Every structure is written in structure tokens, then in C-alpha cells.
Amino acid sequence: MGVTNISSDTVAAQEAIAELTGIDASSFTNQTVDIGESNITAMKTGSRVNNQLMNDLSGFVQAFLTQANKFPELAARIEANDRQDAQDWR
């Protein structure tokens, strides 16, 4: 994915987030790692950290996608403002 600036080009905005919209991290939520009856402290700690990380990652991805999906709307607003500005100069 290359670098694309969000501007009044709604197509560019849509292309900029196209690769992101297919990401689904909802399956990470509530997934857990079970190490069984291990009594190794580092294994228990690693399991807890991993389980928390999966939930946090799911929330982060969802928040990121929520923001990314705003770009096409933002580009459309900029485009409308650009059109209005162009008419004002005529």
C-alpha cells in the first residue's frame, strides 16, 4: 500500500482505505490461550498477557477502522467546499 494523501478526490480517499476495510479482528475478542496445568510462572504470565493483548488488539483495530471509514465522507465534504470555492471565484 502506497502513501495517498486524502484530498477532495473521493476516489483517492476510498482507495486509501480499501485495504483496511477487509480487516476483521472481531474473532480476536474473547480468544484465550490455555496452557493447561502448567505451574511455570513465566508461562502463566505469558498466557495472561496474550489473552489481554488479543482483546486490546481487537478494540484497537475496530477503533482504527471506524476512523478510516470517515475518510471518504471527509473527502466528499472537501470536494463540495472546493466546488463552492470555485464558483465563488467566477
What is the number of other CB atoms lying within 10 angstroms of the CB of residue 29?
13
More confident residue, 1 or 76: 76
In a domain, 5, yes or no: no
In a domain, 4, yes or no: no
Q: CA 28 → CA 13, 46, 51, 59, 65, distances in Å?
A: 28, 17, 9, 9, 15
Specify the pLDDT at position 62. 84
Please, are residues 6 and 74 in contact by the beta-carbon 8 Å criterion? yes
In a domain, 38, yes or no: yes
Residue 3 pLDDT level (bands cut at 50, 70, 90): low
pLDDT digits 0-9 by tens, 33-85: 788 888 889 988 988 898 888 888 888 888 888 888 888 888 888 888 888 88
d(CA 25, CA 51): 14
d(CA 75, CA 13): 6
* Mean pLDDT of the region 12-24: 71
In the chain, the number of structural domains is 1
Domain span including residue 63 = 10-88
In a domain, 43, yes or no: yes
Specify the pLDDT at position 33. 77
In a domain, 3, yes or no: no
In a domain, 61, yes or no: yes
